[in-house]
Structure 1
Amino acid sequence: MDSYDVIVIGGGPTGFPAAIQAARMGAKTLLVEKSGQLGGSTTLNRVAFPGIFHAWGRQVIAGIGWDVVCRTVEVDGGELPDFSDIHARHWQHQVRLCPTIMTALIDEDIQQSGCELLLHTIPASVTREDEQWQVQLCGKEGLFTVSTKWLIDASGDANAARMAGCPIQPRNEELQPGTLVFCLEGYDSKDIDIDTLDLAAQRALAEGKLERGDFGWGGHSFGQLVRSRGKNAIHTPEIDAVDSAGKTHAELKSRAALLRVFRFLKKYPGFEGLHIAWCAPECGIRETRCIVGESQITYDDYISGKRWPDAVCYSFYPIDLHTHDGLKYEKLAEGVVPTIPLSAMIPVGTTQFLAAGRCTSGDQLAHSAYRVQASCMAMGQAAGAVAALCAQQGQANAAQVDFAELKSALEAQGAVFPD
């Protein structure tokens, strides 16, 4: 049975920086990813505009994730946004990039770091034995088991945490809707009278030919979808993608929505040449489950910019809670930059285990902000460094990591450590 210092479950914006950081520190590391490519929401779900890395005119998130984002833009011949405009809308500071190039660059970084990689592989069980985690994996060849000193759940859904018996927050609120990202071509948006189109769409809604989520975030107009040519425009509500059955439901429901929208527009004047240029292979999921951490990031913590005593990275994004009826949006006050504590990544009562990124402990409103890609990259890199240090020093309690050593290890890989 192969044994590792660190195993990372999930190769998205949280997982690939975690694995690269740990491997570059000399930890024997394995990265396990369920799909055929790394990058997760940025590449597989084609939400190819990660952010936000800058706050109020200064960079607050850098390091491994930022480096691959910059190189992706450079290879593609693109340009970075103007981050100096502190009054720009938040989406204007998100970086537009080519997901295919980014995936290939992450591949290079993983291989050069010395990290071992298994694509098309998922965890089947996680158990504790002889002060190590035994992780049963399911690959194309069947089931096999590996062991590790430290395990990082970067799945976004707390999959490994639930298997390991970590406490998971109950869900009392309605989960945020998902979004299938796609691109429509074959029309000129300037030729479309949106008001008239919306009247026709409302009739189609009344006749059951469209559903409310097909109208996007506001639930009443096709304007955003038409002008943006799709992209991050529609909502797939009433889904829970925490398990395979729920994820299947989300995929079927989101593709059915795309088909409804396409059939409706194709029959409308001005869309005769409409076609789908591309579509993400998976529906993007905003929210499923979080761990019960040793601390929980609350809405008040986030919007106040609380400086946690065990802060390991910054996060910067507005409150961005998508609902069935629209969007709850709240911009951070000027000068406020929230931080993420290590303790929110430590499941209560669990040792040698971290849950980073979208499954970090927090309430729904705070989570709606820190769940985004740049913040996940920062959390993942920090988790990778903590796990590597603890594994190398025989430390079982993440909270007892030497923060001076942690700061040094992260800054050596370009990360920004909280002041």
Structure 2
Amino acid sequence: MLLHRRKRRHRLAPYIWAFLIVPLFMTTFGLPHLSAATYKVALKPFAPITSVLAPKSYYDVIVVGTDPEGVTAAVSAARNGLKVLLVEPRGQRSILGGLMTLGWLNSLDLNKSPLISSKYPAPYLNKGIFQEWYQLIEGTSFDVKRAASAFQKLVQDEPNIDVLMNVKSVDPIISNQAIVGIHIVKADQSSLDIQAGSVIDATQDADIAAAAGAPYTMGRQDIGEPDARMAVTLVFKLSGVTDKVWQEMKQRVGPGGGSDARSIWGYSEAKDYPSSDPTRIKMRGLNIGRQDDNTILINSMQIYGINPLDPASLQEGMQLGAKEAPLIVDYLKKKFPPFKSLKYAGVAPELYVRETRHIIGEYRLRMSDLMDNRDYWDAIAYGSYEVDIQSLSATSGGAIMMLPEQYGVPFRTLVPKVIDGLLVVGRSASFDSLPHGSARVIPLGMATGQAAGVAAKLAKERNLTFRQLSASRPAIAELRSRLTKQGMDLAMRPFAKPDYAKHPDYVGLLMATSLSLTAGGYKNDAWKLDTAANPALLLNSVRRLQLMYPLKFNTNIDGLLTIEKPPAPLTLEQTAYLMAKMMGINVEPDAALKEMTDHYWISRNTVNGIKDAGQLTNGELFMIINDVLVNYGIVIK
């Protein structure tokens, strides 16, 4: 979730009627607003879901994980005529919805369409089962009990689904490098083996894939920082929110903030909260979601130093957050008048974890895909949410890397290398850590879940493994056709080429963004390609490359470049020398440029395009670095 929930400005086709009929298609294609009476009719009263007493010995599909992506995968597979077991490996869970209903993440990060027109009337991408669920809740933020009831309704409406909760552990059964079933240990210590035609891993952390031996990276390992991952959050609740208080809160959001009927974002001064442990906990501006019972949920506390794969560390995070939450509420009540009458009402049962494993699949979603707004022949979902990188430590800030218009998510990102019989859906699918900042949002994850359910049916019909399916263009065309017939919107919208992609140094920008050397912000205008580069940026770039490629770039460069304040100009000669030394080339500073160009490490076209060799721009520096990587066989595509 973002500090500020950015409102994309939809591009409207030049048809006056489009402005007139938008309210008519909002309910059909986008944002519904259900009355209390409609809600009572649509959903049964909230209650824990019932587990199957005697699971079958075989299912066509086993879906592991009852987060939104898992629910969607199970419903999708069941609607395609498959017998499905939906199993939850976290023994303490008794309701569906995971992060949304137990992590209390009750505000949605939506994939907004870059274009609204007569041909493309939907304001959001993908539609499908996500939209069915969305129409059972209310607005961009929702009541978590209502959300759980909506998930439960989707599942219980499908007779082909058996649900198994209160499980102590789930492990894959492997045969010939393929998952053929799961081994379950129940809460009473009894165990059973269940065979399956295929398995869909919808756990938050790709636990089944990892246990099966599928390769993955951890955190930001792909850019040389394996121990770095985004902060975790413990959502907390306040009560006493009347309509009057809600309106007062909306009026006080402050610069950069905003609101709608169910959500408020802003209150940037909340970041000044004096933490009881500044190295472990801090606040950012507030993201507030309203519930049906006069309470609000706030997603703004950031907790650091937690290993989400370690139960003891997770418990520590819960304890830190639960201790801090009432202190934060006291601060908010004193700092902001609209909060004065509110009362602290507890914390979520689970932490909101943003990042752990990133599976290595048949395709890996890259930052260049988002920068280029690429479509793919096997796209089974589309994203457009901003690349939101939350802070990694109490001393670092987050970043909005850029805002894509629309990009395709290939089916191949769901198919892990090495292990067959398995699809991975949700935030731990095959995404590099940076584009994961966009692709991790739950509506997109639910779209991948729907695709996985249909793929399981198609693979069974055609007697294909998922890997074979992922390589077959005719089979993928059929998959996309079935998804479309079943309510998915797989249309790529037309839109103009972004201005940043027209810059002469764009190739270098693709590389720099993929290595987290620069960011474009909410408006894609903060790259600073034409700004004067300085030695610190060069040094940071070289350090990044050494972290990512230690076997290629392992020369000690300490002391080779002086960092001054104010920054001195960065020259072409300095850059060529440091890059040469990084590569292990033994050369004097005044001979480095000739060495690098004579051996084509830096192209002459790049050198000829430099306007002032005595002062490189950021874009020119990025082009030089890109040349070195390409000529070393490292291509950022």
Q: Does residue 74 of structure 2 align to residue 19 of structure 1?
A: yes
CA distance in 1, matches of 2:270, 2:213: 51
Q: Paired residue for 2:376, among 288, 292, 308?
A: 308
Q: Which residue number in structure 1 is paired with residue 439 of structure 2?
A: 370
Query: Using the alignment, how far apart are the partners of 2:98 and 2:64 within structure 1?
Result: 12
Q: Which of 63, 71, 77 is the matching residue for 2:128?
A: 63
What residue ranges of structure 2 are gaps of 5+ in the alignment? 1-55, 117-121, 255-266, 291-295, 493-637
Selected match of 2:286 from 201, 224, 240: 224
Q: Greater RCO between the two (CA within 8 Å, min separation 6)?
A: 1
Contact 1:27–1:392 (Cα < 8 Å) also in 2: no
Distance in 1, matches of 2:421 and 2:288, equals 48
Q: 1:237 aligns with which of 304, 314, 333?
A: 304
Change (3 A) 1:200 1:97: closer
SS in 2 for 1:405: helix
Measure how far apart 1:216 and its partner are.
Answer: 1.7
SS of the counterpart of 2:148? helix
Structure 1 gaps, min length 5: 74-79, 81-94, 218-222
User: What is residue 251 of structure 1 aligned with on the other side?
Assistant: 318
Residue pair 2:206, 2:424 contacting (<8 A) in 1 also: yes
Question: Per-residue deviation at 1:211?
Answer: 2.6
- Partner-residue secondary structure (3-state), 2:359: coil
8 A contact 1:225–1:234 mirrored in 2: no
Q: Is the 8 A contact 2:111 2:385 kept in 1?
A: no
More displaced, 15-24 or 318-327? 318-327
1:224-245 per-residue CA deviation (whole Å, 9 max, x = no partner) reads 3899976111101121212423
Choose from 202, 207, 215 the match for 1:159: 207
Q: Which moved more, 1:36-45 or 1:223-232?
A: 223-232
CA distance in structure 2 between the partners assigned to 1:305 and 1:242 by the alignment: 33
Q: Secondary structure in 2 aligned to 1:363?
A: coil
Aligned-residue offset at 1:201: 9.6
Residue aligning to 1:326: 397
Q: CA offsets per residue over residues 242-278 of structure 1, 9 Å max, x none?
A: 2423332332232233244246667889777552235
* Aligned structure 1 segments of 4 or more residues deviating by more than 4 angstroms: 185-192, 197-205, 225-230, 262-274
Aligned counterpart, 1:77: none
Alignment of 1:337-376 (within 5 A): 337-376=406-445
TM-score for both structures, normalised by structure 2? 0.56
Letter in 2 for 1:69: Y
Q: Is the 8 A contact 1:302 1:338 kept in 2?
A: yes
User: In 2 relative to 1, CA 167–226 (structure 1 residues): closer, same or farther, beyond 3 Å?
Assistant: closer
CA distance in 1, matches of 2:154, 2:274: 49
SS of the residue 2:136 aligns to: helix
What are the superposed Cα offsets for residues 184-222 of structure 1, whole Å, 9 maximum, x if unpaired? 346978799x9xx999997955xxx343664423xxxxx
Query: Secondary structure at the residue paired with 1:145?
Result: strand
Are 2:232 and 1:178 aligned?
yes
Which segment is superposed worse, 121-130 or 7-16? 121-130
Distance, in Å, in 1 between the alignment partners of 2:134 and 2:279 is 35
Map of 2:476 onto structure 1: 403
1:283 is aligned to 351
The equivalent of 1:297 in structure 2 is: 365
Give the conservation status (yes or no) of the 8 Å contact 1:310–1:341.
yes
Contact 2:378 2:477 (8 Å CA) reproduced: no
Q: Distance in 2 between matches of 1:327 and 1:399?
A: 35
Give the conservation status (yes or no) of the 8 Å contact 1:126–1:160: yes
1:141 pairs, out of 176, 188, 206, with: 188
Larger C-alpha radius of gyration, 1 or 2?
2
Q: CA deviation at 1:109?
A: 1.5
Q: Deviations over 1:121-163 (max 9, x none)?
A: 2543212138652311232232222111111111120100111
| 2: CA distance, partners of 1:38 / 1:262 | 29
The DSSP-based 3-state class of the residue aligned with 1:390 is helix
Q: Hey, what's the Cα distance between the residues in 1 that align with 2:410 and 2:317?
A: 32
Q: Cα gap change, 1:227/1:393 in structure 2, threshold over 3 Å: closer, same or farther?
A: closer
8 Å CA contact 1:23, 1:29 repeated in 2 = yes
Give the root-mean-square deviation of aligned CA atoms: 3.2
In structure 2, what residue type is equivalent to 1:326?
A: G
Counterpart Cα distance in 2 of 1:269 and 1:295: 48
Q: Which amino acid aligns with 2:324?
A: A
Aligned residues: 387
Aligned partners of 1:29 and 1:67: how far apart in 2? 20
Given that 1:294 and 1:346 are in contact with CA atoms closer than 8 Å, whether structure 2 keeps it comes out as: yes
Q: Indicate conservation of the 8 Å contact 2:172/2:179, yes or no.
A: no
Structure 1 pair 227/36, CA: closer, same or farther in 2 (3 Å)? Answer: closer
Q: Is the 8 A contact 1:293 1:348 kept in 2?
A: yes
In the alignment, what sits opposite 2:143? Answer: 98
Q: Alignment partner of 1:169: what SS?
A: strand
Q: Please tell me the residue identity of whatever aligns with 2:486.
A: Q
Superposed displacement of residue 355, structure 1: 0.9
> By how many angstroms is 1:308 displaced?
2.1
Pairing 1:384–2:446 present? no
- CA gap of 1:308–1:328, structure 2 versus 1, over 3 A, is same
Change (3 A) 1:304 1:96: same
- The counterpart of 2:97, out of the listed 20, 39, 48, is 39
2:179 touches 2:420 (CA, 8 Å); kept in 1? Answer: no
1:140–1:358 Cα change, 3 Å? same
Q: Find the aligned partners of 1:310 and 1:388 in 2 and give their Cα distance.
A: 17
